[in-house]
Amino acid sequence: MSEAKKHIPVMVEEVLQTLQPRPGQTILDMTVGAGGHFGLLADEIKGQANMVGIDRDPMCIEAAKKKFPESRFFHGSWTQALMDMDGLIKNIDGVLIDCGVSSMQLDQADRGFSFRFDAPLDMRMDTTQTQTARDLLHELTEEEIANVLYEYADEYRSRRIAKSIVNASKQNKLNTTFDLVDAVTQAVGKRRGKTHPATKTFQAIRIKLNQEIQELENALAYLVKHLHKGARIVVITFHSLEDRVVKNIFRDYDRQKKVIRLNKKAIQATRDEYLQNPRARSAKVRGVEVIDAKMDKK
């Protein structure tokens, strides 16, 4: 795993204040990544052995197993890995979900997440998954691609871009990240402002390929149903669609008296933090405590 640019965990203070991990507790980190938050949480609960980790990226899991040999790890998407955890879920006192891709995934050129590098059009968080972004774009119709761009990235030029993507694909010119950048710029022109014209297209395709929104909805529903009373869930999101999903789910469960929201307004990073770590600029933290559960902690 390339560590060229070190992954700095975001909003550490805010996560700890909301999750309140204590010595002796068991904590589940559902997004191990480079293990930044994982290590900090292990310190708070004073023991790696009570840390459980999930990630769908096999390389993250391999690295984490070496770094935290006493902890337990599950490889897979949340939907799968939570099932694999089975009875262990009832021991969990706190859960952290730090959404999206990690900086290692973005900086590893051959993963195809970034339009900064020319690489195969891949974008799989889980490299054992068969379908890549290239496969997905060759399978979807023009209308479906436009809907993905609009739904997952609010791309208002979605139809123009989708048409250009399909044209590129018909000419067998849709195999690499730079091919996708070309398809976008042919549709909407080159960069004018600060943001690269392909930013939203890359985001939308990544979200669709990795089923990020469905995964988040399923995982939160499962956790609220299976965690014991008093357990906490903290989620860090990085774009408005993700935050809206978390906000609405937490609000609905709060109304149903299944959870209590620990903060009604999302907590954002301080200026100091995002000046040091630009990734924190769009980060939002929300947390809940489970109040209605089938089981109380023994």
Ligand X SMILES: C[S@@+](CC[C@H](N)C(=O)[O-])C[C@H]1O[C@@H](n2cnc3c(N)ncnc32)[C@H](O)[C@@H]1O
**Which chain residues interact with ligand X by CB under 6 A?**
7, 9, 31, 33-37, 54-57, 60, 77-78, 98, 100-102, 125, 215
> In angstroms, what is the minimal distance from the CB of 9 to ligand X?
4
Our CB check for ligand X shows the closer of 35 and 197 to be 35
Our CB check for ligand X shows the closer of 67 and 261 to be 67
> In angstroms, what is the minimal distance from the CB of 105 to ligand X?
6
| DSSP states along 31-53 | --TTSHHHHHHHHHTT-GGGEEE
Our CB check for ligand X shows the closer of 127 and 248 to be 127
215: Cα within 13 Å, side-chain hemisphere: 23
| Closest listed residue to residue 166, CA positions, set 137, 186, 188 | 137
Nearest residue to ligand X, scored by beta-carbon proximity: 33
- Measured N-to-C along each axis, helices 36-44 and 12-19 cross at an angle, to the nearest 10 degrees, of 40
Percent helix / strand / coil, the chain, rounded to 5: 50, 10, 40
> In angstroms, what is the minimal distance from the CB of 57 to ligand X?
4
> In angstroms, what is the minimal distance from the CB of 208 to ligand X?
13
Our CB check for ligand X shows the closer of 167 and 214 to be 214
Structure tokens belonging to residue 63: 């690295």
Beta strands in 86-165 (DSSP E): 94-98
Our CB check for ligand X shows the closer of 61 and 183 to be 61
> In angstroms, what is the minimal distance from the CB of 78 to ligand X?
4
C-alpha 31/C-alpha 52 separation (Å) is: 10
